[in-house]
Chain A
Amino acid sequence: MRQSGRTRVAVDAARASASTLERRGIDVKGELFRAVLLFCVVIGVVMLATLLIYVTIAGWPRLDVNLFTQMPSTRDPQTSGFLPAIVGTIYVMFGVLITTVPIGVSAAIYLEEYADASKWYNRFIETNIQNLAAVPSIVFGILGLAFIVRGPWGLGFVAFAGSLTLMMMVLPTVIIASREAIRGVPSTLRQASLGLGATRWQTVSRQVLPVAFPGVLTGTILAMSRAIGETAPLLLVGATTFVRFLPEGLFEGAYSVMTVQIFQWAMRPQEEFRTLAAAGSIVLVALLLLMNSVAIWLRNKYSREY
């Protein structure tokens, strides 16, 4: 290629400036900024670590088998346990899972694959899903009390009412995560499938969803871990009851969950119950960390495939 006059001038200038490439003292502003950022990271990590260490020390004496196998008792903290709360949590989370995943994934498929973004109602739905994700959880509790426990559904204070309330809360998370996963599926795959005469539904169910699956799964686990740690909305829809028996089912009988049980033990004046609450917290935190790790592992495992 022939060099124009201007190019030659530019090249000469670049060569000349190479002699001034050496460091000129310390960049004070840059270093300061770096220090502030590092400080913020340290605060976060230190706080989390303190919390974990504190809870572990406080709860260690009661981290025993009784914790998992015994009914709660207000009289004897030594043999008191979380059994009904654990079972209740499993019930509630099962209810959340079976409602959130189909609804959330279907909504995401609609918005990504079918919705015509030029229609006002589709844009309206989109914006409101974003908004819904920002609603404080207690509001969902009130909604659950008014419409699910009482009102039109009238399920009563049962585990499934808790499930539906939490479902409303985490649905936006699942929808948003699933949409991202679906959007990440290369469009060449859709074209290949449609080009072979597959219907839109065949394309979605056989090509798009399998590829999007790890992303959907990751979003679901994160949503579940958010739901499992939630207390406030559940207090409103029945989980307050102090239960000394296992829940009878999803649709009948009183229930309790881990977080509410922890809350109740922590409110008692006696030291032994506080210890019990801390032990319960360890279990919950361990479970949350495990779920999040699985989510991160899944994301890393599948993120490099395309």
Chain B
Amino acid sequence: MNARKKDSEMTDQATRAAGPVPSPQRAVRDVPDVPKEPVFTTQDLNIHYGDFHAVTDVSMEFGKNEITALIGPSGCGKSTVLRCLNRMNDLIPTARVSGEVRYHGIELYGPKIDPIEVRRRIGMVFQKANPFPKSIYDNIAYGPRVTGMKVDSMDDLVEQTLRRAALWDEVKDKLKQNAYGLSGGQQQRLCIARAIATNPDVVLMDEPCSALDPIATLRIEELMAELRESYTIIIVTHNMQQAARVSDRTAFFTVKVNETTGDRTGGLVEFDRTTTIFENPSDQRTEGYISGRFG
């Protein structure tokens, strides 16, 4: 826990040291004012861990086939919000979610919702690559197998998935070898491939590149840009250039301190098109954070 915190703080510093954030360089995509078709809509979302109020009153929308980036200083609740979107928070006994989270209009925390079904549609990629200690092939095939997906040929599915994840050429000769033999960047791309093997609707990524070198990072960013055509992607990142490069929309979170009680809680400060957030933010705190003056 501690180590992780330190890790991300260091990323913060690295980002700051790198100087002013360049404005997005890719071809400007036409991003509408508000998402045309929201996949998730949250309304006054609050998340507690026991008595600790981790996230307060988040209301935002995540658009279909868009990449939404969540940025903000360490501990502001980005991972907490992300995990809440595929009900991974259910696995933390103390976590409690209140307010509204709608997925295609359906209340995600409704009494009849099966969290397992939710996770089948909303895949997740973690900060640290966590392949199964099995073969590359079995890593990809695991999702389709456990979800009982009907496939004509598992071999074809594995190949297609690896091709979509731009990993096929690197691993096609060692599909039966243990995934632990891959490099860190390849392992992370395998995890992305594994997440899309079941053909989910949304892919959530929690700092997927924080343990990777710039080249491996770039490959994953390219991959995300391709995957956007078929999936909705939500990514947490500490790397502001990355948010600027890949995302369509950016949400800036921060830790808000209650003046009288001293309580700290995470909250959404500003949510807008990425170009707006980085070029013309309307909140002082956003501007401070992205220019490295605050965080």
Residues of A within 8 A of B (CB): 116, 118, 186, 188-199, 202, 206-207, 211, 305-306
The answer to whether B130 and A197 have CB atoms under 8 Å apart is: no
Residues on B with C-beta less than 8 A from A194 are 88, 91, 119
Bound complex: CA of A116 vs CA of B123, how far in Å?
26
Contact status of A189 and B143, CB under 8 A, knowing A194-B91, A195-B86, A195-B119? no
Task: Pick the contact of A188: B123, B126, B142 (CB < 8 A).
Answer: B126
Residues on A with C-beta less than 8 A from B194 are 192, 196
The answer to whether B130 and A196 have CB atoms under 8 Å apart is: no
CB of B114, distance to nearest CB on chain A (Å): 10
Contact status of A196 and B128, CB under 8 A, knowing A116-B93, A191-B88, A305-B133? no
Bound complex: CA of A211 vs CA of B131, how far in Å?
13
Task: Pick the contact of B130: A116, A189, A199, A305 (CB < 8 A).
Answer: A189
Kindly state the interface size class of chain B when it binds its partner.
20 to 34
Number of inter-chain CB pairs below 8 Å: 67
Task: Pick the contact of B147: A118, A192, A196, A207 (CB < 8 A).
Answer: A196
CB of B149, distance to nearest CB on chain A (Å): 10
New A-B contacts (10) at CB < 8 Å, excluding given A196-B142, A198-B147, A206-B146: A186-B130, A189-B133, A191-B88, A192-B132, A196-B123, A196-B195, A197-B146, A198-B142, A199-B146, A202-B146
The answer to whether A207 and B132 have CB atoms under 8 Å apart is: yes
Residues on B with C-beta less than 8 A from A207 are 132
B124 at the binding interface (Cβ < 8 Å): yes
B64 at the binding interface (Cβ < 8 Å): no
CB of B125, distance to nearest CB on chain A (Å): 8
CB of A36, distance to nearest CB on chain B (Å): 38
Bound complex: CA of A196 vs CA of B123, how far in Å?
6
Residues on A with C-beta less than 8 A from B119 are 194-197
B120 at the binding interface (Cβ < 8 Å): yes
CB of A262, distance to nearest CB on chain B (Å): 44
Bound complex: CA of A126 vs CA of B216, how far in Å?
46
The answer to whether B126 and A191 have CB atoms under 8 Å apart is: yes
